């Protein structure tokens, strides 16, 4: 056996350097996780709003009742975070109108929205001679 024995372990400087590195990297990693969580939530809300807008637009078009300039409502009780408005705007001539459906919600203290539009044929306004 030799008179000098090697002890295995870390020096104080190595431990201090590791702790400093972790103190710098950990907040950056946590911020990245936080940002990705917010982005996923916003994406989910926008997707839900788009699906609701498509459904409301289909409902309005299939009812074939276009005697309004603007109408609004909500999606209670299933989707209480969202509300909607629908607007009919004149298009070229009198036989076409643009239907705009907007779904609104509040996220991070800001109002967000998704707009979908389509053209509808106003068959009751055309004279059939």
Query: pLDDT tens across 46-60, in order?
Result: 999 999 999 999 999
> pLDDT-derived band of residue 129, with 50, 70 and 90 as boundaries?
very low
Coil vs helix vs strand at 82: strand
Coil vs helix vs strand at 94: coil
pLDDT in the model for residue 128: 37
CA proximity to 86, closest of 75, 72, 98, 105: 72
- Residue at 58 is within a domain: yes
Average pLDDT over residues 14-21: 94
> What CATH number is attached to the domain comprising 47?
3.30.1300
Residue whose structure tokens are 């509040």: 106
- Residue at 101 is within a domain: yes
- Residue at 91 is within a domain: yes
- Residue at 76 is within a domain: yes
> pLDDT-derived band of residue 66, with 50, 70 and 90 as boundaries?
confident
Mind listing the pLDDT tens digit for each residue in 79-102? 999 999 999 998 887 789 999 999
Average pLDDT over residues 106-112: 93
- Residue at 54 is within a domain: yes
Average pLDDT over residues 11-33: 94
Domain that holds residue 107: 12-125
């Amino acid at each position: 056996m030799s008179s000098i024995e090697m002890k295995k372990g870390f020096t104080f400087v190595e431990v201090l350097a590791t702790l400093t590195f972790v103190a710098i990297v950990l907040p950056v990693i946590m911020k990245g996780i936080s940002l990705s969580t917010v982005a996923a939530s916003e994406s989910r809300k926008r997707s839900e709003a788009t699906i609701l807008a498509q459904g409301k637009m289909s409902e309005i078009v299939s009812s074939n009742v276009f005697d309004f300039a603007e109408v609004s409502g909500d999606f209670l009780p299933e989707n209480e975070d969202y509300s909607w408005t629908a607007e009919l705007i004149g298009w070229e001539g009198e036989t076409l109108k643009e239907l705009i459906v907007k779904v609104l919600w509040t996220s991070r203290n800001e109002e967000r929205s998704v707009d979908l539009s389509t053209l509808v044929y106003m068959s009751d306004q055309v004279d059939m001679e």
